[in-house]
Amino acid sequence: WRCWSHQAPGGPQPVEVGLDELGPGSPSGWARYVAGVAWAFGRRGIEVPGADLLLDSTVPVGSGLSSSAALTGAVAVAIDDLTGARLERSRLVGVCHDAEALFVGAPTGTLDQTAVLLAEEGSALCIDFARGSATPVPLAGAGPLAVVDTGVRHAHAEGAYGERRRECEAAAGALGVARLSAADPASAERLLEGRLAARARHVLTENARVEETVRRLRSGEDIGELLMASHRSLRDDFEASCSELDAVVDAARAAGAAGARMTGGGFGGSVIVLGLTEADLRPAATAALAPFGRVPAGVFAAVPSGPAGRLL
């Protein structure tokens, strides 16, 4: 394979990838996400031919907006088309997860890949991993959505993101459940202490907030306070926020937003805001980040789109 990316440092310089030499750690850099998808197809017995790939994206890298899942999802759809494999979308989710988790080494789940590959235009997606379901939820009446990219970058393949996952696994083990989401909230509060109690409290209350958000969206009720409660839980119990994210959330609310929360893996990245247009949000976000010596890396409208797919 030969790969180019308009987002690569220094511009689109070619990276050559030998398909018979693929393995975790080779190649390195941004091309590993592309190569990892080809490798994951190969693990499923699907022969991937040589190809030239030119990559371009409007998703800010490292911004908590699933840029890696967007990349692997687009490449997976392209390879599926190129090889004629015609895998079901749920299997393509597994391909993309293998590329990120096994090839790249990022300790992610499959939420982002599921959203990229199973989304429906104009809708949110309610994903229930216990049941293996992904159900569209109309967003038409929720109000305008906008995103602030704070410019604070994160890397999921290392650091605190993986630590949070290990803490959740430890909490589940202490409670005797396979998934932390299956734990009884009262038991978690009674049996866990300190950091593990806080992590479990976030996961369990967040699941309840998701269910209530879906209910309210379907009935046309406001969800702004649920977004605010979600951010507070991410900030205080999960400790996955940062000062810049908190400042933008507070500024958006003060500017009249119905609600706001950090989005993505945390420790940097972006804030999603409900109830303000891009034009109304930009001055508030700029003022919020000024004390940190930053300006927003991006402020833009968020429009729920359909899944990754072939355009031409």
CA geometry: angle at 106 spanning 297 and 74, to 5°?
70
Q: Identify the helix (H) or strand (E) that includes residue 233.
A: helix 224-236
Pairing of strands 52-55, 2-5: parallel
Phi and psi at residue 208, to the nearest 5° = -65, -40
Q: How far is CA 138 from CA 12, 216, 227, 276, in A?
A: 38, 11, 17, 19
184 in catalytic set: no
Q: Which candidate, 35, 25, 24, places its Cα nearest to that of 1?
A: 35
Six-digit token pair at 215? 């209910």
Q: Which candidate, 73, 25, 85, places its Cα nearest to that of 49?
A: 85
Q: Which candidate, 185, 152, 172, places its Cα nearest to that of 263?
A: 152
Left if phi > 0, otherwise alpha if psi is -120 to 50, otherwise beta: which for 151?
left
Q: Identify the helix (H) or strand (E) that includes residue 41.
A: helix 31-43
Running DSSP on this structure, what letter comes out for residue 65? S
Return the amino acid letter for 294.
R
**Are the CB atoms for 141 and 162 separated by under 8 Å?**
no
Q: Helix axis angle, 89-97 relative to 67-83, nearest 10°? A: 120
Q: Which candidate, 195, 174, 193, 186, places its Cα nearest to that of 237?
A: 195
Annotated catalytic residue within 52, 56, 98, 112? 112
User: Distance of alpha carbon 289 from its chain centroid, rounded?
Assistant: 23
Catalytic sites, residue numbers: 112
